Structure 1
Amino acid sequence: MDAVSIPALSDLTTEFHVVALPLVTRFRGVETREALLLRGPEGWSEFSPFVEYDDTEAATWLAAAIDFGWREQPAPVRDRIPVNATVPAVTADAVPGVLARFDGCRTAKVKVAERGQRLADDVARVRAVREAMGPEGRIRVDANGGWNLDEAEHAVHALAEFDLEYVEQPCASVDELAQLRTRIRYMGIPVAADESVRKADDPLAVARAGAADLIVVKAQPLGGIARALEIVADAGLPAVVSSALDTSVGLSMGVALAASLPDLEFDCGLGTASLLAADVTASPLTPRGGGLPVARVEVDATLLERHAASDERREWWTQRLRRCHALLAG
């Protein structure tokens, strides 16, 4: 983002709120999701990099928040986005309860390779999803780069009986992804890249290396909708739009991205508001009939007050906003 096009910090802080939203179940190691919401000329936007991210990485998320709140967005080419259910690394007996929160979803993304768990836990969880969804349901698994090459190959073999749609970020490096894709090509299970796109210095390296069959894109980590659309076009691969456990405001950014993609072959990972026990709007973007409407979200003042973060956390986020704004402006 060009420094001259960045709003002044005073413009960003005219109306902003820091919220702490409880989760229904532990996800990504957290039980409460914090986010900073800002209102720009185009509407509400969100800045919510995970707390462990450094300022350099977080500044890209701020660029996305500015883009969505202060810039006109591309015209949508669809008015509804099909989404998948997201199943955290829960025990197999908890799977039906998780899926019940995702109304009408025909696809489930299942978290695997959770630290402290075994492959047997993953197999049991995916089996429970297949049993709950039946033969017509689609199942994709997401390892978040948690396996090495040999572990990933072994895991794909162990999970193949459940008819996987694809396996997402099974290994951390582009080279490992490329090797795994070669090893399992005969099985017909595609490889998707997520972290190798959104956390990479060069998000197109995975496409040039032939290391993935499709890419996962997220609006906030990639710096906004326009930048994400550029990456998809330059990669020349099918794309799945996903989220980062956003509030409904952040999810509306992802929905706008999915709505503006020329082609949308896969259900998107934008139904994660179903994992939140609270939200910032009276009409949260939770799946209905397996999809989400394409629309901006209006926040509810009562909910903002009810779920306001502590003064200490608000100050932490305020200082983070200042530092990240300085990086973008400087």
Structure 2
Amino acid sequence: MHPNPPLPPLEELAASARVVSVPMRVRFRGVLVREALLLRGPAGWGEFCPFLEYDDAESAPWLACAVEAAWQGFPDPVRTSVPVNATVPAVGPREVEDVLARFGAVDAVKVKVAEKGQGLADDVARVAEVRRLLPDAGIKVDANGGWTQDGALEALEALGPFNLQYVEQPVADIAGLRAVRLELRRRGEEVLVAADESVRRQEDPLLVAREDAADLLVIKAPPLGGVRRALGIIDAAGLPAVISSALDTSVGIRAGVALAATLPDLPFACGLATVSLMAGDVTHHSLVPEGGRLPVREVEVSEGLLERFAAAPDRAQWWLERLGRAHAVLAD
């Protein structure tokens, strides 16, 4: 793999920065409006959009990913398109059909579960409606670490009749992941355990693999510092990987597509179709599924859409200051 490009001066980054605020169609991860800072470099556009609660150290790799995209570009792909799943937020069963309709024809769905303020009955109703509408689809659920160990086992027993492919981050910590995984195997349950936050929010992203705590990894390029670094982590872990997104515009999704397109094997559909959850974008030709797949192509950013979704001045200033702090972390 080629090394990451040298970090451009902050002044160069700030000169190209554009901050956007894009509304969501439905609440996802508690987000109703998604803010992002876009950077333009010699290789194209990059996106810096760590979630608002992330500190400077956790945000810095997201900047490294944006710089890679805009100043270096991506490795050569091995495929021309990437299979993707639909994503169903923690909505009621009556809303599921409308959410799925935004993704077009797909044969895999990821369903959000363990939402704060909801219970297991809500999760079961949501997953049951997905299965009713798509009887042959591959279904995976994502708890974002929201269950206890006992709660995870209870929930997975209740969700067992829906023939889940895997459960993503059922509990918050690595020890808990391992305990849940081992207990599922002891019970003869075939549902796989996937690690997400335990990979991208750890100082040592390979700890999950060494502790035998997961069957596969859910990988996002930005929190791991870019496509090339993520590829290295996947290779070192030796586990199957599913590539996912973090509520990006099409510019950010392009990095996820680049990562998925470079992997030799993709055993499951990737979670990269989340632009369909947004009520706007920065391009007129969004990266949304076509027959359950995303094409591997560049994204043409529209100046008109950058202006239409421009963040308020105070929010733009907030992001520019955050850019400076993340740049300082990388430079150090």
> Does the 8 A contact of 2:5 with 2:72 survive in 1?
no
TM-score normalised to structure 2 length: 0.97
Amino acid at match of 2:58: E
> Does the 8 A contact of 1:36 with 1:46 survive in 2?
yes
Report the 3-state secondary structure (helix = DSSP H, G, I; strand = E; otherwise coil) of the residue aligned with 2:222.
coil
Q: Could you give the per-residue CA deviations for residues 110-137 of structure 1, whole angstroms, max 9, x where no partner exists?
A: 0000000000000000000000111x11
Aligned match of 1:232? 234
* CA drift at 1:270: 0.2
CA distance in 2, matches of 1:220, 1:296: 18
Aligned match of 1:171? 171
Q: Which aligned runs of 4 or more in structure 1 are off by greater than 3 angstroms?
A: 1-4
Aligned match of 1:256? 258
> Does the 8 A contact of 1:3 with 1:328 survive in 2?
no
* CA drift at 1:14: 2.5
CA distance in 2, matches of 1:75, 1:299: 22
Aligned match of 2:96? 95
- Greater Cα shift, 63-72 or 226-235: 63-72
Unaligned 5+ residue runs, structure 1? none
Aligned match of 2:117? 116
Structure-to-structure mapping, 1:64-103, within 5 angstroms: 64-103=65-104
Structure-to-structure mapping, 1:154-193, within 5 angstroms: 154-185=154-185, 186-193=188-195
* CA drift at 1:296: 1.8
Q: Are 1:104 and 2:105 matched, yes or no? A: yes
Q: Could you give the per-residue CA deviations for residues 151-178 of structure 1, whole angstroms, max 9, x where no partner exists?
A: 0000000001000010000011111111
> Does the 8 A contact of 1:24 with 1:276 survive in 2?
yes
CA distance in 1, matches of 2:295, 2:255: 12
Report the 3-state secondary structure (helix = DSSP H, G, I; strand = E; otherwise coil) of the residue aligned with 1:165.
strand
* CA drift at 1:261: 0.8
CA distance in 2, matches of 1:261, 1:288: 20
> Does the 8 A contact of 1:3 with 1:329 survive in 2?
no
CA RMSD, Structure 1 to Structure 2 (Å): 1.3
Unaligned 5+ residue runs, structure 2? none
Aligned match of 2:12? 11
CA distance in 2, matches of 1:7, 1:323: 14
Report the 3-state secondary structure (helix = DSSP H, G, I; strand = E; otherwise coil) of the residue aligned with 1:39.
strand
CA distance in 2, matches of 1:130, 1:50: 31
CA distance in 2, matches of 1:285, 1:103: 13
CA distance in 1, matches of 2:5, 2:274: 35
TM-score normalised to structure 1 length: 0.98
* CA drift at 1:4: 8.8
Amino acid at match of 1:206: V
Amino acid at match of 1:295: R
CA distance in 2, matches of 1:112, 1:63: 31
CA distance in 2, matches of 1:138, 1:96: 16
Report the 3-state secondary structure (helix = DSSP H, G, I; strand = E; otherwise coil) of the residue aligned with 1:5.
coil
